[in-house]
Amino acid sequence: MLDFKFKSSTKKINEGNVTWSSPSNIALVKYWGKKEHQIPENPSISFTLNNCKTTTTLSYSKKENTNNFSFDVFLDGDKKEDFKPKIETFFKRIEAYLPFLRDYHFKIETSNTFPHSSGIASSASGMSALALCLMSIEKALSEDISEAYFNQKASFLARLGSGSACRSIEGDLVVWGTHKEINGSSDLFGIKYPHDVHENFKNYQDTILLVDKGEKQVSSTVGHDLMYNHPFAERRFEQAHENMSKLISIFKTGDLNAFIKIVESEALTLHAMMMTSMPYFILMKPNTLEIINKIWAYRNETNSKICFTLDAGANVHVLYPENEKENVMEFIKDELIVYCQNEHYISDQIGFGANQIQL
């Protein structure tokens, strides 16, 4: 295991800036339930998205007083006071690993490729982009840092900002959480899925249907807390391990029928956990169910390998292989778009992770 403590450096840098663009991800096996220090209760795996991204420029300048954290946050050029508490908490959690945080004033300028009010969570892309920017400062201050260390520590830090963010650093399929059949898997950071992946999953498509834009979902903190003392929690965590094992052979053989079963079951289980917790929530909307039923009917009629997954909200991620792109898009436009708010949807596909942008 790598040690993520900051190695003391003699380099002095007064100011600078760095920009990273980092993607969102969609979980196939869901992370739902965590222990202290952002340790997940079960392993999860996600597709990295290609089009839903956050770009963050971090400018830093040395300050005299090192008593407090000092930073300003801007979204699309507008100062965002309401983003500050989450970042302050993030800084507190990662300070032990980045002791230079109090030495600088930071300007965090961020923008998303997806509308802020779309109901798409920006915490995964946002926290991973910020973690990567901070790692670039560590790299500038340090003698030498390997790429493996850079990415692993970026994921480790991103996890402390938002759990799912640790799956947004590197790779198209990313595993987070220890699993006995996945060598190198860790509760502390995400890793690139290390086993064979069949061609069927190449350029896998994800069309996100925005059923319910902007309305407040259950916050992730409240959501994960629902798994404390949940009557089905222990069995659920075991099931995630089992589903991960099944996915390993599915990714190898390319068995899309088996893939569909796991992915849809995971999505419905996530919502079932919310419906059976105390307090309980129903985050699906009538149109979520309309879409699910239409997808099932289409699959029965056409033998398509289309399926759906859900986040902790009403929006539907429609997943399908690249070779069905034309047909499925036609189906979506003809039959599903009517269930989206303002007919709004986002076309995406599996991507490869974050990248640094030279301005």
Cα 255 → chain centroid: 25
Name the burial class of residue 11, with classes exposed (0-12), middle (13-18) and buried (19+) by CB atoms within 10 angstroms of its CB: exposed
Could you say which of 53, 153, 213, 224 contacts ligand DP6 (CB under 6 A)? Answer: 224
Q: What minimum distance in Å lies between the beta carbon of 336 and ligand DP6? A: 22
In the bound state with ligand DP6, the residue whose beta carbon lies nearer, of 141 and 319, is 319
Could you say which of 221, 229, 303, 342 contacts ligand DP6 (CB under 6 A)? Answer: 221
Applying CB under 6 A, the site for ligand DP6 has a residue count of: 17
DSSP code of residue 344: -
Residue carrying the six token digits 């339930």 = 33
Q: What minimum distance in Å lies between the beta carbon of 303 and ligand DP6? A: 30
* Both structure tokens of 175: 């595993």
Give the angle 111-117-120 at the CA atoms, nearest 5°. 80
| Three-state SS at 174 | strand
Q: What minimum distance in Å lies between the beta carbon of 63 and ligand DP6? A: 29
Cα 277 → chain centroid: 23
Could you say which of 20, 30, 292, 328 contacts ligand DP6 (CB under 6 A)? Answer: 30
In the bound state with ligand DP6, the residue whose beta carbon lies nearer, of 19 and 162, is 162
Q: What minimum distance in Å lies between the beta carbon of 285 and ligand DP6? A: 16
In the bound state with ligand DP6, the residue whose beta carbon lies nearer, of 178 and 220, is 220
Rg (CA), the chain: 20
User: Which of positions 315-344 make contact with ligand DP6 (CB under 6 A)?
Assistant: none
| 27 is a site residue for ligand DP6 (CB under 6 A) | yes
DSSP code of residue 169: S
Interaction pattern, residues 267-286, with ligand DP6; x per rule: CB under 6 A: ---x----------------
User: Which of positions 32-71 make contact with ligand DP6 (CB under 6 A)?
Assistant: 32, 38, 44
Distance separating alpha carbons of residues 308 and 298, to the nearest angstrom: 12
In the bound state with ligand DP6, the residue whose beta carbon lies nearer, of 121 and 208, is 121
Distant-in-sequence contacts of 183-187, Cβ < 8 A, 24+ apart? 185/43, 186/1, 187/39, 187/40
Could you say which of 243, 311, 319, 321 contacts ligand DP6 (CB under 6 A)? Answer: 311
Q: What minimum distance in Å lies between the beta carbon of 299 and ligand DP6? A: 24
| 164 is a site residue for ligand DP6 (CB under 6 A) | yes
Which residues are within 8 A (CB) of 30 and not within 5 positions of it... i.e. 6 or more apart? 44, 240, 266, 267, 269, 270
| 312 is a site residue for ligand DP6 (CB under 6 A) | yes
* Both structure tokens of 111: 């923008």
| 163 is a site residue for ligand DP6 (CB under 6 A) | yes
Q: Dihedral of CA 1/170/174/117: which sign? A: positive
* Both structure tokens of 57: 């420029």
Binding site for ligand DP6 (CB under 6 A): 27, 30-32, 38, 44, 121, 123, 162-164, 220-221, 224, 270, 311-312
